[in-house]
């Protein structure tokens, strides 16, 4: 699948397709079974050209399993996930991350997540350019964008829509913002784009000047179709795009 946006915005990395499958691609890299790993690091690997696969035994961490759509795994977290997200459970357990002030606020966040248990065996990350639309249908497409590129994507997502909140930037883990949340948006009549990788724990896994912008397949097609004739053809964008380095 091609993306004229990737070219016009001079993205540093190819967009990545998130696919659900019952077959693991032969060339896919994967975490070892039951070993810790960060899904955000694997998204970055896919941005750089690798194909990645996850299963219910190779999702890397319990939070990653949730973010990929393998169900609600937080009940298995040592000491309790809401304590880990907030103030911690004390000696012998992982220290609290202080991303929520109290366990009660953390529980409210968990209660609001659209927990999903997909029927497929694998979640696959693959560079979009390597996806054959005759054989595969992405659930989500993820862009990594710098501030100028992200600005363009936000404006374009509102270009052919009523209202001004067609892009959301929720509090979420890196994997939730690139998989779970945009996948759930795909069931809406007017799915929103999700800006992500604001997760402090995931930030070391991505270039310092980039954030993610994740969309359902239907919204991806909408953005691609709307690019021509939009502000991307106008002088204001020409002044901005000049300062974006050419992609390698």
Residue pLDDT, tens place only, 189-242? 999 999 999 999 999 999 999 999 999 999 999 999 999 999 999 999 999 999
Summary count for the chain: helices (H), strands (E): 10, 7
What is the spatial distance between Cα 117 and Cα 4, in angstroms, rounded to a whole number? 33
What are 146-158's pLDDT values in tens digits? 999 999 999 999 9
The predicted pLDDT at position 248 comes to 62
Q: What is the pTM of this model?
A: 0.95
């Amino acid at each position: 699948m091609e993306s004229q946006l990737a070219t016009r915005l001079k993205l540093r990395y190819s967009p990545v397709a998130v696919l659900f499958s019952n077959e693991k691609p032969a060339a896919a890299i994967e975490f070892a079974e039951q070993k810790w790993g960060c899904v955000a690091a694997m998204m970055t690997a896919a941005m750089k050209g690798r194909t990645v696969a996850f299963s219910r035994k190779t999702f890397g961490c319990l939070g990653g399993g949730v973010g990929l759509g393998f169900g609600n795994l937080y009940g298995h977290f040592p000491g309790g996930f809401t304590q880990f997200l907030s103030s911690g459970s004390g000696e012998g357990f992982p220290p609290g991350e202080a991303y929520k002030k109290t366990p009660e606020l953390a529980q409210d966040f968990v209660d609001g997540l659209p927990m999903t248990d997909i029927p497929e065996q694998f979640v696959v990350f693959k560079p979009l350019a390597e996806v054959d639309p005759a054989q595969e249908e992405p659930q989500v497409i993820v862009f990594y964008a710098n501030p100028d590129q992200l600005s363009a994507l936000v404006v374009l997502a509102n270009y052919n829509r009523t209202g001004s909140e067609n892009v959301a930037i929720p509090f979420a883990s890196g994997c939730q913002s690139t998989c779970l949340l945009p996948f759930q948006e795909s069931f809406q009549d007017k799915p929103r784009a999700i800006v992500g990788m604001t997760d402090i724990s995931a930030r070391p896994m991505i270039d310092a000047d980039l954030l993610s912008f994740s969309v359902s397949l239907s919204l991806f097609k909408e953005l691609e179709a709307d690019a021509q004739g939009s502000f991307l053809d106008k002088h204001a964008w020409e002044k901005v795009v000049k300062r974006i380095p050419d992609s390698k």
